[in-house]
């Protein structure tokens, strides 16, 4: 993709300070996007914002929030803030995820199960629903959900994370089908494959901590967000083609 491919587009990224979210944010800013970055830690959001602006990107809008603990309706609050401050929204990437450790279902705490499903399915649903009016006014809007091969159900011990990914795949398909009559609003999933992120380190502690999310996965996400992705709807992109789960 040429660097200005996302010029004048407003893109919301959740889990923006995570391994993939941060790499995507820097690449999207370099491609010209005005970013809205949502994450749990204010300091990490500010550090990411500093890196983006130091590289010449536009100053991102920051939304520090822990969706697993937030009270009220943070989804509507975020959507209203984007409309008030920026007046438009052209893309959403749901990069936030929760995974604590490989655990048998019989030993999984109910609270951890509920948090994994809340962040993995409920938050993407609620935030997408809140943003639909804004997305619907964009001339070319794209929503990207982060998929994972462990959601197929044949990988033991991944618990609520795996079940959430399976549900997220169905959620994407439902959104894509219900809006399939439009060519200006699309819903897709990206399966980035194994990446050296803090999330994956909980399952594979011996991984190379210096490794970064793959360029192929970031480029594939930019493709889905930009004009070259128009016409793609209800699909799961897997640039890595790997069966090893845990992004």
pLDDT at 21: 93
Residue 243 in domain = no
Give residue-wise pLDDT tens across range 186-231.
999 998 865 555 555 545 555 555 555 678 889 999 999 999 999 9
**Given this model, what pLDDT does residue 2 score?**
46
Q: Which of 75, 161, 175, 187 is catalytic?
A: 161
pLDDT tens readout for residues 30-80: 999 999 999 999 999 999 999 999 999 999 999 999 988 776 799 999 999
The CATH number covering residue 106 comes to 3.40.50.720
Please check whether residue 207 lies inside any domain of the structure.
yes
The verdict on residue 34 lying in a domain is yes
Residue 244 lies in a domain: no
Q: How confident is the prediction for the chain on average, in pLDDT?
A: 86
Residue 76 located in a structural domain: yes
Q: What domain count does the chain have?
A: 1
CA dihedral 243, 197, 5, 134 (to 10 degrees): 100
- Banded pLDDT at 240 (limits 50, 70, 90): low
CB 95 within 8 A of CB 19: no
E strands within the chain? Answer: 10-14, 34-39, 61-64, 91-94, 141-146, 185-190, 236-237
Buried b (16+ CB within 10 A) or exposed e, 130-155: bbbebbeebebbbbbbbbbbbbeeeb
Report the alpha-carbon distance of residue 151 to residue 142 in Å, rounded.
Answer: 22
Task: Show the domain range for 88.
Answer: 3-237
Distance (Å, whole) CA 135 – CA 191: 23
Our separate counts of H helices and E strands in the chain read: 8, 7
**CB contact at 8 A, 153 and 166:** yes
Using the predicted structure, report yes or no on whether residue 88 has a pLDDT greater than 60: yes
Question: Does 161 qualify as catalytic in the annotation?
Answer: yes
Residue 30 lies inside a defined structural domain of this protein: yes
Q: Does the structure show a pLDDT above 70 at 243?
A: no
Q: What is the band of 150 on the pLDDT scale with cuts at 50, 70, 90? A: low
| Residue 246 domain-assigned (yes or no) | no
- At 236, is the secondary structure helix, strand, or coil? strand
pLDDT > 50? residue 245 = no
Contact 25, 16 (CB under 8 A): yes
For residue 112, what pLDDT is reported?
Answer: 86
Q: pLDDT tens-digit profile of 100-139?
A: 667 777 888 898 888 889 999 999 999 999 999 999 999 9
DSSP string, 122-188: IHHHHHHHHHHHHHHTSSSEEEEEE--GGGGS-STT-HHHHHHHHHHHHHHHHHHHHTTT-SSEEEE
Give me the pLDDT at residue 171, please.
97
């Amino acid at each position: 993709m040429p660097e200005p491919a996302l010029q004048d587009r407003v893109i919301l990224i959740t889990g923006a300070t995570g391994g993939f979210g941060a790499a995507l944010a820097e690449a999207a800013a370099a491609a010209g996007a005005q970013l809205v970055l949502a994450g749990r830690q204010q300091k990490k959001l500010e550090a990411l914002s500093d890196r983006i602006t130091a590289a010449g990107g536009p100053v991102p809008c920051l939304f520090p929030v822990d969706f697993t603990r937030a009270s009220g309706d943070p989804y509507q609050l975020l959507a209203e803030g984007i409309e008030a401050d920026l007046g438009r929204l052209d893309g959403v990437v749901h990069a936030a995820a929760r995974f604590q450790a490989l655990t048998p279902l019989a030993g999984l705490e109910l609270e951890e199960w509920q948090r994994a499903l809340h962040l993995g399915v409920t938050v993407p649903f609620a935030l997408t629903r809140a943003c639909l009016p804004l997305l619907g006014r964009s001339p070319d809007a794209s929503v990207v959900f982060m998929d994972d091969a462990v959601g197929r159900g044949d990988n033991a011990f991944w618990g609520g994370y795996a079940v959430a990914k399976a549900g997220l795949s169905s959620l994407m398909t439902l959104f894509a089908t219900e809006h399939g009559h439009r060519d200006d609003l699309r819903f897709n999933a990206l399966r980035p494959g194994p990446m050296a992120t803090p999330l994956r380190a909980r399952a594979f502690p011996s991984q190379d901590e210096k490794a970064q999310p793959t360029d192929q996965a970031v480029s594939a996400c930019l493709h889905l967000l930009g004009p070259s992705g128009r016409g793609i709807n209800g699909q799961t992109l897997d640039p890595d083609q790997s069966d090893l789960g845990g992004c």
